[in-house]
Amino acid sequence: MKRKKVECDNQIMDNIILNDVSVFFGKENLIVFEIGNEVASDISEFIAILTKNIKYDNEIWNTVIDKKLLNNISTVKTLYWLSGGDVEWNNGNHYNRPWSVYNVYFYKKYNRLVKNILKKSKTYGDVRDYFNEYLNLPILYDFALSQNMIR
């Protein structure tokens, strides 16, 4: 793990680099996560992206969740990544309409579940496991089929 100071939005932030993941900590609980080319601003979205990009044996999965980070999560962003992310929503091969139309359906159906998963999880790995069990791609795809979102 490497540590360094970086400037972001005119404030000095601590930057922790762990394998391919950078986490920037700023004042007033400002945290920015960077995974490859993706940037996330909340822990839920970050773990959803990690789930698709980081191996199961990576030490990052043992990281304990700071419960203060659960105050400002965007379940819509989380569901975007869990439902296929850029690959699925940018190519338009399966869905009748773009994410901007369908995100409200996913939000209404799964918002409470995402928040409950985060509340009862202790580590990033716990969240990953719950996402894989309760919000995996087949489950989300079946929901989309039931709502006539799929071509």
- Contacts of residues 51-56 at CB distance under 8 Å and 24 or more positions apart, as own/partner, are 51/81, 51/82, 51/128, 51/131, 51/132, 52/81, 52/85, 53/20, 54/19, 54/20, 54/21
143 near 109, Cβ under 8 Å?
Answer: yes
Say how far apart CA 18 and CA 1 lie, in whole Å: 5
Place of tokens 């071509």: 151
Radius of gyration of the chain (CA): 16
Residue 19: which pLDDT band, with cuts at 50, 70 and 90? low
Q: Quick one: average pLDDT of 42-59?
A: 88
Q: Which residue has the higher pLDDT, 3 or 16?
A: 16
Q: Which residue has the higher pLDDT, 15 or 90?
A: 90
Say how far apart CA 9 and CA 43 lie, in whole Å: 20
How much is the pLDDT for 2? 39
How much is the pLDDT for 85? 92
Percent of the chain at pLDDT exceeding 90? 48
Say how far apart CA 12 and CA 24 lie, in whole Å: 10
Write the pLDDT tens digit of every residue in 64-114.
888 888 888 999 999 999 999 998 999 888 899 999 999 999 999 999 999
Percent of the chain at pLDDT exceeding 70? 79
Check whether 146 has a pLDDT greater than 90: yes
The helix (run of H) or strand (run of E) holding residue 21 is: strand 21-25
Rounded to the nearest integer, the mean pLDDT of the chain is 83
AA identity, residue 91: N
Say how far apart CA 28 and CA 25 lie, in whole Å: 9
Q: Per mean pLDDT, which range of 6-10, 84-88, 143-147 is the poorest?
A: 6-10
Question: Considering Cα of 81, then 3, then 57, then 114, what sign does the dihedral take?
Answer: negative
